């Protein structure tokens, strides 16, 4: 399995978490799984076993941030650095081990080199987002303004898919967006539904009080203010409500105490604030302790901040644009009051916290939705079927014909991308060369003059 992100490095959400759940599911079925991933820092470069899965973490930050490539296409350079680091480790491992199948998360062509070697059948995996740490790195680099960078990313992804033996995506919408993907294999973000379930120990003793867990970045002042308004409106209706905050942007106990004092000063009295590290250790027990969950500004935590709670039968009220969550097949599973005003959110929370027929129905519905769409054991079984089909096709006589067809598609992509490269170089020269800029305007003036 090739993936840039594999927890615990870079956190426990997004595509990396999905690959972790899938790898654990495959290992649980008795399969040998080896993962190649990027290391969070130089000290994390190692080869270890993690819950029965062999994990090789590689360095990807060796090149300096100076130079023409870093200046002109910094985003593409970063993504290519990631891929090259993963490719090098794969080639090293492939010399020592004959893999039955290579499963590569395809953000920037990670499956290209494994497919070109022909050493093993290759399955490309498509998600609706990049790894969170990659997005943060790209945000730090900023936008150069050149569309060619986006074209390059799509180019490498399409090349990877066209050369692969098979493709899996989390939704049919995502397959449709990929120009060269004819596969129909769908596996949504998987979750360990045996760990995250309504039955079991609870982390919080709320002494019979109604309980609400709010997952939010507490260092964001706008999010804090929104939470204060919602809690004030809700406490007016449920004064004995026990509130616990899970803060993904806190990392120490000292920070927990400080933030709790700051929130209390503005009228937000929470029973407990839990940092991201602690919440991970007791995550399933924590969600079981809640009657309802509120998610604020959880873009970087999608989809697992919601999936974990839903799997424990906890209704989720979230601030989100549901149409953007292509992994969410049933929009009614996550409750998002129109306008998301403090009063409307408080009203919805009050209803879900109560022991009403609607809240009981939502709890059962939430759990069943996860079992039907996100069970990691079921996802692993499906994956094994896809792997077996890919291996069978790769060994059949028509595999050469298919591979030639893949190369033909790749050549078409190269041709179209070369045209975009010409446009990019023209724009680049126009921005950075005064002489070229003068030449551009002179030629444009002469063309207009010749038409008169």
246 contacts: CB under 8 Å, gap ≥ 6: 213, 214, 215, 216, 274, 276, 279, 286
Lowest-confidence region among 204-213, 309-318, 319-328, 423-432: 423-432
Domain 14-190+380-434: top CATH class = alpha beta
Determine the Cα–Cα distance for residues 148 and 128; give it in Å rounded to an integer: 20
Calculate the CA 220 to chain-centre distance: 21
* Residue ranges of the chain that CATH labels 3.40.50.2000: 14-190+380-434, 211-374
Can you read off the two tokens belonging to residue 200? 């079991």
| Omega of the bond leading into 303 within 30 degrees of 0 (cis) | yes
Identify whether the C-beta of residue 60 lies closer than 8 Å to the C-beta of residue 134: no
Give the model confidence (pLDDT) of 129-167 as tens digits. 888 888 888 888 777 666 667 777 788 888 888 888 888
Percent of residues, the chain, with pLDDT higher than 70: 81
pTM of the model: 0.85
Q: What is the pLDDT of residue 394?
A: 81
Q: What is the pLDDT of residue 321?
A: 65
Give the model confidence (pLDDT) of 41-76 as tens digits. 877 688 899 999 999 999 987 655 555 566 667 777
Q: What is the pLDDT of residue 182?
A: 47
Per DSSP, the three-state class of 283 is: helix
Can you read off the two tokens belonging to residue 276? 């991201």
Determine the Cα–Cα distance for residues 164 and 403; give it in Å rounded to an integer: 8
Can you read off the two tokens belonging to residue 377? 């054991």
Q: What is the pLDDT of residue 297?
A: 92
Can you read off the two tokens belonging to residue 408? 């033909």
Which of 113, 110, 122 is CA-nearest to residue 394?
Answer: 122
Higher-pLDDT residue of 417 and 111 is 111
Per DSSP, the three-state class of 108 is: coil
Most confidently modeled range among 178-187, 265-274, 323-332, 352-361: 352-361
CATH no. for 211-374: 3.40.50.2000
Mean pLDDT (the chain, rounded): 84
Using CA atoms, how far residue 187 sits from 25, 103, 209, 372, 451, in Å, is 13, 13, 39, 11, 58
Give the model confidence (pLDDT) of 278-334 as tens digits. 667 789 999 999 999 999 998 888 899 999 999 999 999 998 766 678 889 898 999
Task: Give the residue-averaged pLDDT of 340-353.
Answer: 96
Q: How many CB atoms are closer than 10 A to CB 317?
A: 26
Task: Give the residue-averaged pLDDT of 405-410.
Answer: 59
Per DSSP, the three-state class of 186 is: strand
Reported as a pLDDT band with limits 50, 70 and 90, residue 452 is: low
Give the model confidence (pLDDT) of 87-109 as tens digits. 999 999 999 999 999 999 988 88
**Judging by DSSP bridges, how do beta strands 242-247 and 53-58 pair with one another?**
unpaired
Question: Does residue 67 come out as left (phi exceeding 0), alpha (psi in the -120 to 50 range) or beta?
Answer: left
């Amino acid at each position: 399995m090739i993936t840039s992100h594999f927890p615990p490095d870079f956190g426990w959400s997004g595509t990396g978490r999905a690959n972790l759940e899938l790898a654990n599911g495959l290992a649980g079925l008795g399969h040998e799984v080896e993962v190649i991933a990027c290391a969070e820092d130089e000290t994390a470069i190692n080869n270890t076993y993690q819950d029965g899965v062999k994990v090789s973490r590689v360095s990807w930050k060796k090149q300096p941030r100076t130079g023409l490539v870093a200046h002109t296409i910094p985003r593409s350079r970063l993504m290519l650095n990631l891929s090259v680091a993963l490719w090098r480790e794969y080639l090293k491992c492939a010399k020592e081990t004959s893999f039955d199948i290579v499963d590569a998360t395809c953000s920037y062509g990670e499956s290209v080199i494994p497919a070109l070697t022909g050493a093993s059948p290759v399955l490309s995996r498509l998600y609706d987002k990049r790894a969170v740490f990659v997005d943060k790195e790209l945000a730090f680099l900023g936008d150069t303004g050149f569309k060619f960078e986006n074209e390059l990313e799509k180019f490498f992804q399409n090349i990877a898919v066209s050369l692969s033996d098979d493709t899996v995506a989390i939704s049919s919408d995502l397959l449709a967006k990929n120009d060269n993907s004819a596969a129909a294999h769908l596996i949504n973000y998987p979750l360990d539904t045996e760990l995250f379930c309504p039955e079991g120990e609870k982390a919080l003793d709320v002494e019979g009080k109604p309980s609400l867990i709010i997952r939010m970045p507490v260092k964001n002042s706008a999010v804090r203010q929104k939470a204060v308004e919602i809690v004030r409106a809700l406490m007016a209706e449920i004064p004995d409500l026990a509130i616990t905050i899970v803060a993904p942007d806190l990392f120490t106990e000292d920070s927990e105490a400080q933030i709790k004092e700051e929130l209390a000063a503005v009228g937000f009295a929470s029973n407990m604030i839990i940092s991201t590290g602690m919440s991970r250790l007791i995550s399933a027990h924590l969600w079981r302790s809640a009657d309802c969950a509120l998610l604020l500004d959880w873009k970087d935590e999608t989809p697992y901040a919601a999936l974990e709670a839903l799997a424990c039968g906890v209704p989720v009220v979230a601030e989100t644009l549901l149409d953007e969550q292509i992994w969410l097949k049933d929009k009614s599973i996550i409750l998002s009051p129109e306008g998301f005003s403090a009063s409307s959110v408080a009203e919805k929370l009050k209803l879900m916290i109560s022991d009403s027929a609607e809240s009981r129905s939502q709890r059962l519905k939430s759990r069943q939705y996860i079992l039907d769409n996100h069970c990691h054991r079921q996802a692993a079984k499906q994956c094994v079927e896809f792997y077996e089909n890919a291996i069978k096709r790769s060994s059949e006589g028509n595999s050469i014909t298919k591979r030639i067809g893949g190369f033909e598609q790749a050549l078409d992509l190269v041709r179209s991308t070369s045209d975009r490269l010409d446009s990019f170089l023209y724009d680049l020269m126009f921005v950075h060369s005064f002489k070229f800029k003068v030449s551009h305007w002179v030629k444009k003036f002469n063309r207009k003059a010749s038409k008169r």
